[in-house]
Structure 1
Amino acid sequence: MAVYIYSITGEDHPLRLDDLKGVGDPPGRPRAISAGRLCAVVSDAPEDLRPRRRDLSAHQEVQDRLMTDGTVLPLRFGLTAPDDDAVRAALEERAEEYETRLRDLEGCAEYHLRVSQDEDALLREILEDSDEARELNEAIRSGEAGPGAPLALGELVAREVEARHGALAAGVVEALRPFSREESSSSPTGDDLLSISFLVERDKEELFLTAQLSLANQLGDDFSLRLRGPLPPYSFV
């Protein structure tokens, strides 16, 4: 029977699974498959697996329980294998890789940061700082600009936004990097200028959180810094 895979742990990880409910309806019962010095936490895979809210929640609850008790390699929602033997074979084949990564993640959690800037405030800033942009904007508003002026202004503003966002993102990362072990960037979506995950050691969490709060205060109300964590280290598996 197909199995759903939640996480990989070391053989000595406390596996308090009895009261947990897995994905599916009715919920599967999480259990462990062992191979050498590794374990995989799995349950029977439902035939109609989809990212329903209850299943996403069950997946996360298993990860949170395992993370509370020790280091895990959390797998993202939806990973399945044909049967127990296939899981065991994968653990054996990639044992060295998994064991190394478990050591790398020991005592760490993931914090995910998204940063955005108010668009109107950014535009005002560009018009204040750039003589060219300000003159083009004033000419357009007065009706004195040529037909190509709006396009030229748009292109100029876009270049300024890209440069300013790039510099700001780099500054945010540099400010928080000393308090993290690793970082993993993803493409920003929507209005965000930065989307990044930090791998933070437990004994540095307070320093990391203090630095993030100080950074938010320095940037001011025109910026939004949304931090989630501690999370299972999905971005670093």
Structure 2
Amino acid sequence: MALYVYAITAKDHPQRLDDLTGVGSHPAPLRTVTAGPLCAVVSEISEEIRPKRRDLQAHQEVLERLMSDAVILPLQFGYFAPDDQAVHQALEANVDRYLATLERLDGCAEYHVRASQADEDELLRQILRDSPEASDLNERIRAGAQDPQLPLALGELVAREVQERQDALAADIAETLIPYGREHTTHPPSSPDFLNLSLLVPHDRTEDFLAAQAGLAGRIQGGVDFRLTGPLPPYSFVA
């Protein structure tokens, strides 16, 4: 029977799974497939799984339980294997890489930091206050100047200023937080975010990291919205 695969662990992982069930409309019990020093946590599945809320939650609950006991290699939602043999072969074929990654991730969790401009009007006011050129264009438009190029010029100037300010702010945030992570990766931000940063934070640095993030949120003005998510399974750092 086909298997849904949640994560890869070391063979000696506690794997406290007895009270959990897997994804699907008829969830099957969780179990493991072992190959040498590695295990894959799986459940049997007989249907196509789509990212519905219940199944996403079940997937996440399994990972959180596993992660609470020891390091894991989390798989993204929706990973299937045709049978136990296929899982066993995959573990055997990648044993050295998986063991090295488990060692690299040990003692860490992933945190996401996203930032967006919560108050665009405030940012515009700052630009008009700080940029003589933007202020002059705005005053000429408000005074009734008929030149159709003026609004276009102001719009282009403001867009450049917004981009430059957000790029500088993203760099400042990253420079402040990256030292607290063992590793980091920057993802392309999706609008309205201008920063999407993932950090692999060691457990013994978590308090310092959270304090630094809180300090940034208090220091940076101008209607910036910070969103911190974590601790999470280290999806972004599984090579």
Under a length normalisation based on structure 2, what TM-score does the superposition of the two structures give? 0.96
The one-letter code sitting in structure 2 at the alignment partner of 1:204 is R
SS at match of 1:77: coil
Provide the rounded CA distance (Å) in 2 between the counterparts of 1:37 and 1:80. 21
Aligned partners of 1:126 and 1:220: how far apart in 2? Answer: 14
**1:181-204, Cα deviation, whole Å (9 max, x unpaired):** 111222222321111111100000
Distance in 2 between the 1:195 and 1:160 partners? 20
Q: 1:202: which partner in 2?
A: 203
- Residue of structure 1 in register with 2:60 after alignment: 60
Contact residue 139 and residue 145 of structure 1 kept, 8 A: no
Name stretches of at least 5 consecutive residues in structure 1 with no aligned partner. Answer: none
Q: Deviations over 1:24-74 (max 9, x none)?
A: 111121111111111110111241311111100100000000001100011
**Partners of 1:45 and 1:100 in 2: how far apart?**
30
Q: Match for residue 96 of structure 2?
A: 96
- The answer on whether the counterparts of 2:123 and 2:222 sit within 8 Å (CA) in structure 1 is no
1:138 match: 139
Kindly provide the amino acid, as one letter, of the partner of residue 186 in structure 1: H
Aligned to 1:225: 226
Q: Aligned partners of 1:32, 1:138: CA distance in 2, in Å?
A: 69
User: Percent identity at matched positions?
Assistant: 57
Distance of 1:127 and 1:133 partners within structure 2: 6
Distance 1:222 1:234 in 2: 30
How many aligned positions are there?
Answer: 237
Q: Which amino acid aligns with 2:3?
A: V
Structure 1 stretches of 4+ with a deviation exceeding 6 A read: none
RMSD of equivalent CA atoms = 1.2
Confirm whether residue 8 of structure 1 aligns to residue 8 of structure 2.
yes
Aligned to 1:183: 184
Check whether the contact 2:74–2:233 (CA below 8 A) recurs between aligned residues. yes
Q: Unaligned 5+ residue runs, structure 2?
A: none
**Deviation at 1:220?**
3.4
Equivalent pair of 1:23/1:46 in contact (CA under 8 Å): no
SS in 1 for 2:98: helix
Q: What is the Cα deviation at residue 130 of structure 1?
A: 1.0
Q: 1:1-237 alignment to 2 at 5 Å?
A: 1-117=1-117, 118-220=119-221, 222-237=223-238
Contact 2:122 2:222 in 1 (8 A): no
Cα distance in 2 for residues equivalent to 1:92 and 1:138 = 70
Q: Give the CA deviation at 1:91.
A: 0.9
Question: What TM-score, normalized to structure 1?
Answer: 0.97
Alpha-carbon distance in 1 for matches of 2:136, 2:202: 50
> How far did residue 13 of structure 1 move?
0.7
SS of the aligned residue for 1:4 comes to: strand
